[in-house]
Structure 1
Amino acid sequence: MDIFNNSTFQLLGQGLHGASKQQKNIADNIANIDTPRYKAKKTHFKHTLNESLQNLNLQSHKTDDRHLDFGGSQKGVYTTVNQNTTFNHNLNNVDIDYEMAELSKNQIYYNGLIERMNGKLNSLQTAIRGGR
């Protein structure tokens, strides 16, 4: 029995992978804020977690019409670049306020995933030690 190859660990791993990729792209955007003609990158990965949940055949129970269903359309972690916008005089489209806000949100998301992973590992450790 492979206790580390269950659906929870896989979902948490996918989330951590996506968050780390997003962290790299945000850092690249901030580092290139003064680079002429640089276009900001955006990472998309939360759909992957939704797809994994859908593959587990989980049914969502909606108590309000505004709740979202499980599911997604794209596969994997991917990055997009918006070539159609310009914010700075040097034809760069990096908005530092937006990037800093995204950096903070991503850090909170990443920390939440790490806390959940630690909780799962602590549960396994407790079971191995016989409940002590």
Structure 2
Amino acid sequence: MNLFQSIQSLERAMDVSSLRQRLITSNIANIETPGYKTKDISFADILKQEQSNVNNFSFKGYRTHPSHFQITSQSNSYQHRIITDNRTSMLNNGNNVDIDFEMTKLAENNIWYNTLSQLINKEFSMLRLVINEGRR
């Protein structure tokens, strides 16, 4: 396992959450735009790709001692898919933005981003503790 794998995974999750925030705010901004259809990001595709990346390393470095860090190459890129909901229309002009639903998604995403931020801060404080050999 890569030493910084959890930090990299959290970083990618924060990137996705940031993109979702932009999509949701774009939906809210276009609430009066005729024909506008809501957009969101597919978390399931990203999660599936992230889980497959855990076991699929294309490069492993040679370690001369068992206590040395393991060197592996792991893809830092992920493919996201933006989904446009064409199924519904909330207004007569073809727009399907539901402000209540979008505000709920916005709050949910905000909580998720804050949780990820706290987790990454915890990872860094554990690294700081290790670097300082347990001294604060």
Q: Note the 1:87-126 alignment, pairs <5 A.
A: 87-126=90-129
Q: Do structure 1's residue 29 and structure 2's residue 27 form an aligned pair? A: yes
Percent of pairs with identical residues:
36
Larger Rg: 2
What do the CA deviations read for 1:8-37 (whole angstroms, capped 9, x no partner)?
A: 122111111110110000000001101111
Tell me the distance in 1 between the aligned counterparts of 2:80 and 2:18.
11
1:49 maps to which residue? 47
Shift of 1:46: 4.4
CA contact 2:39–2:83 (8 Å) conserved in 1 = yes
Tell me the distance in 2 between the aligned counterparts of 1:46 and 1:83.
19
Alignment size in residue pairs: 112
Q: Do structure 1's residue 79 and structure 2's residue 82 form an aligned pair? A: yes
TM-score by length of 1: 0.76
CA RMSD of aligned residues (A): 1.8
2:11 maps to which residue? 13
CA contact 1:45–1:76 (8 Å) conserved in 2 = no
Moved over 4 A (4+): none
Per mean C-alpha deviation after superposition, the further-off stretch among 18-27 and 84-93 is 84-93
CA contact 1:18–1:46 (8 Å) conserved in 2 = no
Q: For residue 96 of structure 2, give the secondary structure of its aligned residue in structure 1.
A: coil
Unaligned segments of structure 2, at least 5 residues: 56-77
Tell me the distance in 1 between the aligned counterparts of 2:51 and 2:128.
26
